[in-house]
Amino acid sequence: MGKVLFLALLFLGGNLWARPVNDNLEYAGYLKTEFWLKNYNDESHLSLSSFKNTFDLEVEYELSENWTFFLHPRYFYDFAYDLRDDYNSYFDKNQFKMGHTQRTEWLRDCYLDFTSDKLDVRIGKQQVVWGQADGLPFLDRVMPFDLTYYWLPDFADIRIPLWMIKVEYSPWLNSTLQFLLIPDFEVSRSAPAYAPFAFKANNDFETWKASQEALGRRVHKDLYRPAKKFKNSRVGLRWRSMFGDIDYTLNWLYGYTNSAYNYSEGTDSSGGVLNYYFSRKNKLSHLIGFSFNKSFINPGLFEGWTLRGEFAYIHNEPTYYGTRGSRKRTERTDKYTYVLGFDRTFFTNWDFSLQFSQFIHDKKTFEGYQVINSYTYGLMEKIENTLTLKIATDFIHERLKPEVLVIYGDDNDGRISFKAKFEVRDNLWFTLGYHHFWGPPRGSNGQFRNNDHLVLETKYTF
């Protein structure tokens, strides 16, 4: 009850306070309630996975003609962990980490903007977006991601903002050089073991760990993260310009990987007990890439189409090697990934987006072991192909907005995500969504093949 009262007070305070104090202040916010209902495909019943309530507020204050301050707090609490007693069991106890806002994560954005004709500077906690692909990140690797709910929520919600300095200089029209200095560091995160969207690799490790501890053995797992020091800062450059009527970018990023990787540190016997040692580390890596966007407006066969693409070369990124379902070692290799997108609007308001992508490993084998999927430890081909299709439209004078995204991998691994938003009135939205998975258990999406989810959402904006 106290948590309900807290959210109610936040909502009331936001509406009372968020009034035009003067012409320099702008605000926006929302209250959102989400129900995630798990559909056990093999048992045909629903189970509550999440009853999440979110308060979000954005405040912008114009200090002068060139200076602006932006503040974006967000708080959430998931009541599912109060309603379900089984979350207190051994296998579910660590899911409480997903039940409420952790540490300083309530502060999404907090930055100071300086803008001028040629130079823009943003200092503070913020997001930087380099990619525009549907459903999957390719060039969009500046920010870490929160994969508590896999890749299902909007990317703007699962990117983890960082404290940084972003400088953009425009030497001439339609050209911009962006410089990033990121002294902050946060690791990408996934759902804890046995949560609805926990990766199969995490679940398998926890099961193995429990079996070893039952035999009187000990399993040690240590985290080694780069210290938040200036010398460990990541740096990035992006050049954006026009080549004729083609919008393109050239991208470079250097620093510690957002994702931590598992390493085996050996075993020993002390006091008659067998000890296993593991570590999770972030390694230095380079990213070099580019993107382009070309719209065809002249009459002809391609009139109305937009062609876009992204390419990324990742140098020295850690990669798992092993056998099916078992990681044997972690080595750094080079990877190449690209996506081509074809977009067009049909019948006035039907938007189609088709994508083809490939993920290429520099080494398929290492000392007899094959590359394995970091989510599931399933074997991967040297070249992995993926097709996506996104269709969106609207009805009832843009009040009803359905959308479907299909992701299909060449190993018959994929998912379909559907959602329909309905505007009840100007500041009240209802959303119905459904996520369906299929594929082999060691595939990225197939690991959730018995984990379909129905999503119901109510959002009130102010």
pLDDT given for residue 55 in this prediction: 97
Rounded CA-CA distance 341/6 in Å is 45
User: DSSP letters along 353-417, please?
Assistant: EEEEEEEEES-SEETTEEEB-TTT--B--SEEEEEEEEEE--BTTTTEEEEEEEEEETTTEEEEE
Are 58 and 70 spatial neighbours (Cβ–Cβ below 8 Å)?
Answer: yes
How many residues can be counted in the chain?
Answer: 462
Residues 389/403, Cβ–Cβ less than 8 Å: no
pLDDT number for residue 228: 80
Mean pLDDT of the 3-18 span: 46
d(CA 152, CA 146): 11
What is the enclosing helix (H) or strand (E) of 213? helix 200-214
AA letter at 223: L
Determine the pLDDT at residue 21.
56
**Cβ-count burial of 142 within 10 angstroms (0-12 exposed, 13-18 middle, 19+ buried)?**
buried
User: Is-above-0.95 flag for pTM?
Assistant: no
**pLDDT value of residue 292:** 98
Check residue 131 and give its pLDDT. Answer: 94
Q: How confident is the model at residue 210 (pLDDT cuts 50, 70, 90)?
A: very high
Total Cβ atoms within 10 A of residue 199: 22
Candidates 57, 60, 77; CA nearest to 16 is 57
pLDDT tens, 215-233? 999 999 998 888 888 899 9
Percentage of residues in the chain having pLDDT higher than 90 = 81
| Res 345 pLDDT > 50 | yes
Pairing of strands 273-281, 218-224: parallel
Q: Which residues contact 95 (CB under 8 A, 6 or more apart)?
A: 81, 87, 191, 192, 194, 195
Q: What does the pLDDT read at residue 92?
A: 57
Return the number of other C-beta atoms located less than 10 Å from residue 414's C-beta.
22
Q: Report how far residue 361's alpha carbon sits from residue 143's, in angstroms, rounded to the nearest whole number.
A: 22
Would you state the structure tokens that stand for residue 313, as one six-digit string?
Answer: 């070369």
Q: What is the mean pLDDT of residues 90-97?
A: 61
Q: Which residues neighbour 395 within 8 Å (Cβ) at sequence distance 6 or greater?
A: 402
User: Residue holding tokens 């490939």?
Assistant: 358
> What are 167-208's pLDDT values in tens digits?
999 999 999 999 999 999 999 999 999 888 999 999 999 999
The H-or-E segment that residue 461 falls in is: strand 452-461
Structure confidence at residue 44 as a pLDDT band (50, 70, 90): low
* DSSP 8-state code for residue 246: E
Task: Say which range, 68-72, 136-140, 309-313, has the weakest mean pLDDT.
Answer: 136-140
- Nearest of 110, 291, 91 to residue 192 by alpha carbon: 91
Query: Distance between CA 27 and CA 22 in Å, rounded?
Result: 12
Contact call for residues 317 and 275 (beta carbons, < 8 A): no
User: The tokens of 52 are what?
Assistant: 């999440």
- Report pLDDT for 7: 46
CA distance 287 to 336: 10
The angle formed by the CA atoms of residues 242, 123 and 159, to the nearest 5 degrees, is 75
When comparing pLDDT for 104 and 252, which is higher? Answer: 252
Contact status, residue 291 vs residue 311, Cβ threshold 8 Å: yes
Task: Spell out the residues 6+ positions from residue 135 whose beta carbon is closer than 8 angstroms to its own.
Answer: 151, 388, 390, 405, 407, 417
CA–CA separation, 35 and 83 (whole Å): 13
| Predicted pLDDT at 43 | 58
**Helix, strand or coil, per DSSP, at residue 444:** coil
Query: Of 280, 271, 381, whose CA–CA distance to 324 is shortest?
Result: 381
Residue 205, token pair as written in the block: 């490790």
Which ranges of 64-114 would DSSP assign to H, the alpha helix? 80-83
State whether residue 256 is helix, strand or coil. strand
261-270 and 246-256 beta bridge pairing: unpaired
> Measured between alpha carbons, how far is residue 148 from residues 8, 188, 198, 442 in Å?
26, 10, 7, 19
What's residue 191's pLDDT?
A: 92
**pLDDT at residue 5 above 80?**
no
